[in-house]
Structure 1
Amino acid sequence: MTTILLRRTFLSAMTVLCAGAFLAGLSSPVAAAECKNRGDLDIRYCDENGDLVADTPTDPAEWLDPSTLVFSYTPVEDPSVYENVFTEFMDYLAKKTGKRVSWYGAESYAAQVEAMRSGRLHVAGISTGPTVYGVNLAGYVPFTIMGEKGNVFGYKLQLITKADSDIKTVADMKGRKIAHVTPTSNSGNQAPRAFFKEMGVTPDVDYEVIYSGKHDNSVMGVVNGDYDAAPIASSVMDRMIMKGMLKREDIRVIWESQYFPTTSYGYVYNLKPDLAAKIVDAFLSFDWAGTALANEFKPRDRFIPITFKEHWAPIRLIQKDNGVVYSQEALEALKK
C-alpha cells in the first residue's frame, strides 16, 4: 500500500499543542486504585508485569486502532530532511500494517511527548534522554534501536571545543560559556551534569549554561566560536562530519564517556495488540539495503530488539542522580 503523507497540512495542525487536550483523560481515582504497580509511570498508566513500561489496557474498548498511523523522528536536525530519509520505511510500515502512514516533523521533544500522550502520535523514534519521559508521561513503549550486524549501536557523550581553544580539561570550562542541548537531553545535559559534578565542575555554578536546542547547533556553535565548549552526542557529530558540515580537525574532544544507547523506536501503549505486533514486525523485518535510511545512518544496517528495563538502566540512573521527577513540570522543562 502506498503511504499517504499529509505533510505540510498535517505538520501545521500538529504544531498547535493544546494543553487542555494533553491533560484530559487522566485516570480516575478508581482506576488508579486498581493498579498494583506503577513505579515512575503517570497515574493513567499501570505496570503489573514489572517491565517499567505501561501495560496494554485489558479492556478492548480502550484500544486505539487508527486508520492512519502517525510517525515521528526525534527533532535532532531538519525535520524535512528526515522525512525523506524515513519514506521507504514508512511505505514498508504501511504495507505491513495495512494502514496509511503520515509523517509528523516534531520541533521539540515536548511536542513528541505531548502528541503521543494525547493520542495523536502512534509510532516514534525518541532520543535517549527523552525516551524516559515518553515512557513515564506518554505511555511510550520502546522496543528497538538501530544496530550494526546484530549488535546494539551506541554513542558517547563527548565534550568538544574548538581545535585552537585553550580549554584542555573539564576544569578549564570554569568561567566559560558552554552550550548544553536541552534540559532533557541525555548527552547534551543530563549526563554532563552528573559526570562533570563528580569531576569538580558544576554546570550553572562553575560555568554559564546556554541551551542551543539541538546537538548540531551546539557543534556548529563551537566551530563558529559562539560557545567555548559543548557536550554533544558523538553519533550526531559523526553524521555532520560525513555530510561535510565540518571537518574533524575543526574540533578537539576534551573528554568522553562510555557508550549510551541511541534513539529508541516504539509505539504508544494502547494500540490494538495485533496492530502493535505488526509494527514490531515491520521494524525488525525491514531490509535496509540500498535505502536512504542505510545511507544516512551507516554503519548501522538494521533495527535490533531492546528492552527499556535493561538498555535504559544507565540513563534512568543519571536522571535519578539529577533529581528528575516525571511530572507536568518535567514536561514543561522539555520545552525550554
Structure 2
Amino acid sequence: MGFERSRRGFLGGAAMLAAMLAVPAGAMDPRYTDADGDLTADPPADPKDWLDPDVLIFAYTPVEDPAVYAKVWEGFLKHMEEKTGKQVQFFPVQSNAAQIEAMRAGRLHVAGFNTGSNPLAVNCAGFVPFAMMAAADGSYGYEMEIITYPGSGIEKVEDIKGKKLAFTAPTSNSGYKAPSAMLKAEYGLEAEKDFEPVFSGKHDNSIIGVANKDYPAAAIANSVLQRMLARDVVQPEQIVSLYKSQTFPTTGYGLVYNLKPELAESIRDAFFSFPWEGSALAAEFEKSGEAQFIPIDYKTHWEVVRQVDTAMGVSYDCR
C-alpha cells in the first residue's frame, strides 16, 4: 500500500490465549433460545411469532460516511427486492449501539455488523450472521493496525506512553477491544493509566485525524484504510504503521432471528446470488480485495473475536 509497516503480532502465543480464556464473555439474552448449540438464536417455533414486514430495512455498519454507502449498496438492495418480493430500504445508522438497538426493537431486519459488534448483536438483538465478504480465491479478513504520522515523535508502540491514542468506539474489535488487549498484554500499556484514550466514533475519523495530525496515533481496521487510500481521501505518505495484528473476520452479514423462514431463505439467496461483476459494490470493496459473499459459521469464524472480548472482560449481557 506504499506506507511503512513494522511489527506484526497479537494472539500468537499460548500464554496470551490462556489469559483470554480465563473469563467468560457472557450469555445470550433470555428472550432467545439456542437449542442447536450454534451460539445464535433459534427461529421461533410458533408461526405466529414470525416477522414478515412489508418493507425490509437494511443497515451497513457505520464504519464510514453513510451517504457514500447508500449509493454503494443500491444495486444490491434492488437485487434483494427481486429475490424477496419486498421493498428494501437502506437505513444509515450513526453508531454501533444504535444499529444493535434497532434490530433488538424490531426496526432492523437485515444488516452488516462490524467485527466487534457481531457478538453483541447476536446475543442482545437476535442477529444471525451467515455471510461475509471475501476475495475471489475465498480468502478474507483484515488486520488491526496502530498508525501514526511522520514526525509525530512516535517511532514504536512503546512511544504511545504519555500521549493520546484514538480509538473508534467501545464495541469495535479493531478500533478498541483488540488494540486494548494487545497493548496491555504485549506492552503493559493501559488506557487512562499509561496513555490518554480518545474516541473518534468511526475508523475514517481516526484515519483522517491521524493524517491531519489531530491525533498522534490511532487503532484502526486496515481494510477501511485501504479503501480510503484508493479513493485518495488520505495519501500513503501521511500514514506510518506501527503495528499490525493477525487477521480477523470482516463485517458479518445476516438477519434477525424471527423472520418468516421463507423470507429468511430468500434473503440468504440474495447474498449468495448477487452478481458482483460491474456493480457499485464490487467497485468499492475491490479496494480492500473483496469480490464475493461467502457462507460463514458464527461459532467458528468469530471464535477469536470472542476470545478478545473475554480478555477484555466484555459482557454480552443486554442493558
What TM-score, normalized by structure 1, do the two folds share?
Answer: 0.85
Q: Which residue of 1 aligns with 2:258?
A: 270
2:248 maps to 260
Residue aligning to 2:297 = 307
Q: Within the alignment, does 1:77 sit opposite 2:76 as a pair?
A: no
Q: Identity of paired residues, percent?
A: 51
Q: Identify the residue that residue 44 of structure 1 maps to in structure 2.
A: 31
Counterpart residue number, 1:209: 197
Q: Secondary structure at the match of 1:75?
A: coil
Say which SS state the counterpart of residue 297 (structure 1) adopts. Answer: helix
Matches within 5 A, 1:1-336: 40-199=27-186, 200-298=188-286, 299-329=289-319
May I ask how many residue pairs the two structures share in their alignment?
291
Q: Which amino acid aligns with 1:153?
A: Y
Deviation (angstroms), 1:81: 1.2
Displacement of 1:165 = 2.1
How many Å apart are 1:306 and its aligned residue? 0.5
- Listed as ranges, the gaps of 5+ residues in structure 2 are 1-25
What RMSD over aligned residues (CA atoms) do the two structures have, in Å?
1.0
Q: 2:245 and 2:257 mapped to 1: Cα distance?
A: 32
Q: Please identify, of 148-157 and 215-224, the stretch whose mean Cα deviation from structure 2 is larger.
A: 148-157
SS at match of 1:168: coil
The Cα shift of 1:249 comes to: 1.6
- SS of corresponding position for 2:53: coil
One-letter code of the match for 2:290?
Answer: R
- Kept in 1, the 8 Å contact 2:154–2:160? The answer is yes
Q: Hey, what's the Cα distance between the residues in 1 that align with 2:28 and 2:142?
A: 27
Q: CA deviation at 1:188?
A: 0.5
Amino acid at match of 2:89: S
C-alpha spacing 1:41/1:108, structure 2 compared with 1 (3 Å): same
Following the alignment from structure 1 to structure 2, what is the Cα–Cα distance between the partners of residues 132 and 163? 36
The secondary structure found in structure 2 opposite 1:133 is helix
Partner SS for 1:151: coil
**Which amino acid in structure 1 is aligned with residue 117 of structure 2?**
P
- What is the TM-score of this pair, normalised by structure 2? 0.90
Structure 1 residue ranges, 4+ long, deviating more than 6 angstroms after superposition: none
**Offset of 1:154 from its aligned partner?**
0.6
Deviation, structure 1 residue 166 = 1.9
Q: Deviations for 1:245-301, whole angstroms, at most 9, x for unmatched residues?
A: 111121110111000011110000000111111111110110100010000000311
Distance apart, 1:110 and its partner CA: 1.0
Unaligned runs of 5+ in 1: 1-38, 330-336
Is the CA contact (8 Å cut-off) linking 2:28 and 2:317 kept in structure 1? no
Answer 1 or 2: higher relative contact order, Cα 8 Å, separation at least 6. 2
Q: Is 85-94 or 166-175 further displaced after alignment?
A: 166-175
- Distance in 2, matches of 1:270 and 1:152, equals 31
